[in-house]
Amino acid sequence: MKEITYREIEGKSPGFYVTLAVSIILILLGLYAAYNMEHHGHVISGMNNQIVWGMPHIFAIFLILAASGVLNVASISSVFRKTFYHPLARLSALLAITLLIGGLAVLVLDLGRPDRIIVAMTSYNFKSIFAWNIFLYNGFILICFIYLWFMMERRMRRYYPTAGLIAFIWRLILTTGTGSIFGFLMAREAYNTAIMAPLFIALSLSLGLAVFLLLLMAFCHSLGERILHRPKTLLGVLVATVFYFVMVYHITHLYISGRQGVEYFILADGGIYTILFWGGYMFLGTILPLLLLYHERFTHSRASITGAALLTILGGFALLYVIIIGGQAYPLEIFPGMEVTSSSFFDGAKVHSYTPSHWEFMLGFSGIGISIVATMMAMKILPFLPTGLSDAEVDLDLVD
C-alpha cells in the first residue's frame, strides 16, 4: 500500500481568519454569559425548578455525542481494518478530542461557579451515572491522545490497532453512559427506558459523521468521488438507524398504558415539542437527508451531501431538544390515576413552560467556538490532513 503523507493547513486565507475571529467572539460571549450567570444566578436563564436542563445542556450533549461518533471513522480503519478510511483517521481522532472539550466546557461554565468542578472531581457518588461520566469523559480524551500518538509516531505503529480497539470500546461505554443519564431517571415518564443507550449511540454516529463530512469538504477541496461516496452512503444508513430506534422508543411508550399521556403530549399536543419532532427531526433531519443522499437526482452533488450533513445535525439537535426539554416539560405524575390539583412537587400541574434566554445560547455556542478554535490551531501546527484525496491520487489498494 502506498505511503500516506499528511500536511498542515496554511491558515493564511481570509476564510481561515474570519472563522477564527467568529469563533473567538463566540468564546468571549460565552465567558460573558458565564460571568453574568455566576453573578446574578441561573434566574437570568430560562431554566427553572422544573426545567433544570436547558439549552446549554442540549449544546453540551450534542458536542459530546458528536465527539464519540466522529471517532467512528478512525475505528473503521483500525478496528475493522478498512484501509479505505485510514487517511482520514488522524482528523477523526482530533475532532473527537476537540468536540468533547467544547462540550465539557459548556457544562463547566453552566455550573454557575467554576470552582464547583473541583467538588465534582474529588467527591464521587458511584450510584450516580454523573460520577461515572467524570471518568468516562476524561478517560476518553486521554485515550484519544494516545491513539493519535500511535498513529503519528512510526515507532508506535504496531500498537495502533490495540489503541484503536480500546478507544472504540471506551467510546461505546461513554455514549452508553450519556444515554443512561436519562435511561436511569425514573422520575420522568419520557425517560426511564433502556433503549436510551442504543438510541444515543446511533445518534452519536450520525452526528459525528455529519460533522466530519462538513469539515472534510471544507478543508479538502480536491476530495475525490470514491473517497466521498462511502461516508456519504454510511451517513444515510446511520440516519435510518436513528429513525429505527426513535420509532421503537415511541412505539414502546405507546404500548405501555402509563406512558400514553406523555406520548400524546410529544406526538400530538406538545406545541413546540410536537413541531420540532415532526418538522425538525422527522422532516428536516430524516426524510430530507435520505432524499438528498439516495435520490438519483441529488446523490452525486457535493452541495446535496453538504445539505444532508447540515440537516442531519439540525435534526439531531431538534431530537435532543424534544427528548431532554420535552421530557421535563411534561408534568410529573406521582400518583397515577389520581387527580392532583396542587402540590409543592408540581405534579398534576400544567405543562411547564421554558423559553431559553440569550445567555443560554451564548453559553452553548461558545462550546462550538472552543471546538473550532482547538481544531483549527491543531491542524495548523500538526499534519492531520492527507496531502491528496482526489480519485487520481488515491491508491487503488486503499479502496477495498
User: Would you say 62 and 103 are in contact if contact means Cβ atoms under 8 Å apart?
Assistant: yes
The span from the CA of 175 to the CA of 223, in Å, is 30
pLDDT of amino acid 358: 93
Distances (CA, A) of 241 to 194, 200, 255: 17, 11, 21
Asked whether the predicted pLDDT for residue 1 surpasses 50, the reply is: no
The confidence score (pLDDT) of residue 389 equals 66
pLDDT at 395 over 70: no
| Residue 289 confidence (pLDDT) | 95
Of the chain, the percentage scoring pLDDT greater than 70 comes to 88
Residue-by-residue DSSP string for 89-115: HHHHHHHHHHHHHHHHHHHHHTTSSTT
- Please state the rounded mean pLDDT for residues 127-136: 78
pLDDT at position 174 over 80: yes
For 257, which DSSP code? G
In the prediction, which pLDDT does 399 show? Answer: 44
Residue 217 has a pLDDT of: 84
Mean pLDDT of 148-153: 88
- Split at pLDDT 50, 70, 90, the class of 193 is confident
Interhelix angle 89-109/129-152, nearest 10 degrees = 150
> Mean pLDDT across the stretch 251-263?
85
User: 3-7, 42-46, 197-201, 356-360: lowest mean pLDDT where?
Assistant: 3-7
Region of poorest pLDDT, from 39-43, 139-143, 335-339:
335-339
Over the chain, what is the mean pLDDT? 85
Question: Are the CB atoms for 64 and 101 separated by under 8 Å?
Answer: no
Q: pTM of the predicted model, to two decimals? A: 0.90
| 339 vs 322, higher pLDDT | 322
Residue type, 166: I
- Rounded to an integer, the average pLDDT of 285-299 is 90
Is a pLDDT exceeding 60 seen at residue 400? Answer: no
Min mean pLDDT across 139-143, 237-241, 353-357 is at 353-357
Which residues is 69 bridged to in the sheet?
none
| Mean pLDDT in residue range 256-271 | 86
Return the higher-pLDDT residue of 277 and 331.
277
pLDDT of residue 34: 87
397 confidence band (pLDDT: 50, 70, 90): very low
Whether residue 77 contacts residue 164, with contact meaning beta carbons closer than 8 Å, is answered with yes
CA 153 → CA 2, 39, 163, 205, 305, distances in Å?
17, 47, 13, 27, 33
Residue-wise pLDDT for 208-228, tens only, equals 999 999 988 887 766 667 778
Worst-scoring range by mean pLDDT, 81-90, 179-188, 216-225?
A: 216-225
Give the CA count within 13 Å in the CB-facing half-sphere of 208.
32
350 vs 354: CA distance, rounded Å: 12
- C-alpha cell read off for 374: 482547538
Amino acid at 168: F
Distance between CA atoms of residues 175 and 66, nearest Å: 10
Q: Which DSSP symbol is given to 11?
A: -
Per-residue pLDDT, 388: 67
For 58, the enclosing helix (H) or strand (E) is helix 55-70
Output the pLDDT for position 66.
95
Average pLDDT score over residue span 97-101:
95
Residue 11 has pLDDT above 90, yes or no: no
Residues 262/304, Cβ–Cβ less than 8 Å: no
